[in-house]
Amino acid sequence: MEQVNEDTLASTRKVIAVHINYPSRAAQRGRTPAQPSYFLKPSSSLALTGGTVERPAGCELLGYEGEIALVIGKAARRVSIEDAWSHVAGVTASNDLGVYDLRWADKGSNLRSKGGDGFTPVGPALIPADAVDPAQLRIRTWHNGHLVQDDTTEDLLFPFARLVADLSQLLTLEEGDIILTGTPAGASVAKPGDVLEVEVSASNLTTGNLTTGRLATTVVEGTTPFADFGAGPKVDELQREEAYGSREAAGLPAADSVLTPELKGKLESVATATLSSQMRKRGLNNVSIDGLQATRPDRRVVGLARTLRYVPNREDLFKTHGGGFNAQKKAIDSVNEGEILVMEARGEKGTGTVGDILALRAQVRGAAAIITDGGVRDFTAVAGLDMPTWFANPHPAVLGRRHIPWDTDITIACGGATVQPGDIIVADADGILVIPPPIAEELVDDCIQQEKEEAFIFEMVKQGNSVDGLYPMNAEWQSKYAEWERMEAGKADA
């Protein structure tokens, strides 16, 4: 196979990189794009295997991302997806390096953060494009000898041919240009002295296993500080979390959740009807998800909302958005412990929106519940799960009869209510409520007080008192209630 050398780099006029393309990375980032998006890296960032890369002086977060690089073999302008792969000469390994310390100054361009000299090593060998199936490649990355990334191109969000065709609609891809095709989960941060290695491999029925060999880069510490007339390094917890891939990996404490164990316990202790009346007092009259039934009416759940939206089926769009690792599967596969997946299905009852396998996957991931204002397929199996599902009706038809899974983690409508990601959902046999997080603490404290008062009223009615002046309580009964409350508190302290 041909080796990537200085002549290869010299012929590259532009380097184009894709932001998110692997489902594992999308799940890690918590966002899944509907279309590919790109940024440019200067050709001066290219480097060969065996070299060094400098972590700029004063910087903390040199991120690495193992990627498959496509090398264009012949010019491509307005080519079709079917013809696009014929314009690729070969594939090789690359490392999309960047300093997160400078992202704040880039405004999305990534020029400062990812454009440094040596920030795009490629090689060592070029696998001919016509010798491989682009959907059967493997990408692996090692950090100081430890395997940290290992994924395949089988279920990419945007297959390689689509990237080439898409880019060619606006600009001419020239011979020698390089496209970096995205990184899987596992990218992280390297420090001076670390050795990074990336390898791309493929199986070929004729020639057997093909490999680029390992692209090796050693990190060194920069010694020249940034000048005071330009943007300097600056990091915060968000950049550390994104650079390392998670707060835990970055050594950061877990993010404070609005739904603390204490708040969750309070919400679980009060009736849905009480929550509803207290929200009504605050002018919130349209916060109930209506018209649904539950597989487990004996269960009460409280959790934070994750959202999924379906749009009406259109056959051409279903071809691009309905198959593979679509938005429905992404939502199911990224729901976290204790979260509630809420689906917008427009009240369409003529097909299923979730079935037994995906519902089981949500349960395995720890989801507290699924709520959909559409149908449920494989109803008996879904109803047999420990995790409850709220739904409009059972229906045997598959998703594509009426729906296209379109987007996740956006504001949606479900059962007549608006639901945003991060809203607090309380659901039981009496109904489903959507609680805005900023009012939750005050709301539930008032609910607890209301239920104490109603317990007193119930006892007084039980003793034969009329509800006139008692429900609601007038001043005389308020005084009697205060005395009753003091007595009850005394009993609790005894």
| Domain limit, last residue, from 212, 244, 276 | 244
Decide if 270 is inside a domain. Answer: no
State which amino acid sits at residue 243.
A
pLDDT of residue 263: 93
**Do 404 and 472 reside in the same domain of the chain?**
no
Decide if 266 is inside a domain. Answer: no
| Domain limit, last residue, from 244, 261, 276 | 244
**Is the CB of residue 215 less than 8 Å from the CB of residue 190?**
no
**Do 372 and 488 reside in the same domain of the chain?**
no
CATH of the domain at 344: 3.50.30.40
**Do 230 and 327 reside in the same domain of the chain?**
no
**Do 421 and 471 reside in the same domain of the chain?**
no
pTM equals 0.58
Decide if 297 is inside a domain. Answer: yes
**Do 101 and 215 reside in the same domain of the chain?**
yes
**Do 422 and 452 reside in the same domain of the chain?**
no
Q: Tens-of-pLDDT digits for all 494 residues of the chain?
A: 899 999 989 999 999 999 999 999 988 877 788 899 999 999 999 999 999 999 999 999 999 999 999 999 999 999 999 999 999 999 999 999 999 999 988 877 899 999 999 999 999 999 999 999 999 999 999 999 999 999 999 999 999 999 999 999 999 999 999 999 999 999 999 999 999 999 999 976 565 789 999 999 999 999 999 999 988 999 888 788 889 988 778 887 665 568 888 999 999 999 999 999 999 999 999 999 999 999 999 999 999 999 999 999 999 999 888 888 899 998 998 898 899 999 999 999 999 999 999 999 999 999 999 999 999 999 999 999 999 999 999 999 998 899 999 999 899 999 999 999 999 999 999 999 999 998 999 999 999 999 999 889 998 999 999 999 988 899 999 888 888 888 877 776 65
pLDDT of residue 294: 96
**Secondary structure class of 407 (helix, strand, coil):** strand
How many domains does one find in the chain?
A: 3
CATH of the domain at 79: 3.90.850.10
Decide if 275 is inside a domain. Answer: no
**Do 211 and 322 reside in the same domain of the chain?**
no
| Domain limit, last residue, from 435, 455, 475 | 435
Decide if 334 is inside a domain. Answer: yes
Decide if 91 is inside a domain. Answer: yes
Q: What one-character DSSP code corresponds to residue 256? A: P
Decide if 302 is inside a domain. Answer: yes
**Do 409 and 464 reside in the same domain of the chain?**
no
Decide if 262 is inside a domain. Answer: no
Sign of CA dihedral 54, 58, 64, 70: negative
**Do 48 and 176 reside in the same domain of the chain?**
yes
Question: Taking the CB of residue 483, how many other CB atoms lie within 10 A of it?
Answer: 9
Cα–Cα nearest to 425, from 352, 493, 341, 348: 341
**Do 47 and 186 reside in the same domain of the chain?**
yes
**Do 192 and 230 reside in the same domain of the chain?**
yes
Q: What one-character DSSP code corresponds to residue 130? A: G
Q: According to the 3-state scheme, what is the secondary structure of 339-377? A: CEEEEECCCCCCCEEECHHHHHHHHHCCCCEEEECCEEC
**Do 162 and 297 reside in the same domain of the chain?**
no
Task: Give me the domain span that covers residue 452.
Answer: 445-493
Query: H or E element: which one contains 262?
Result: helix 261-269
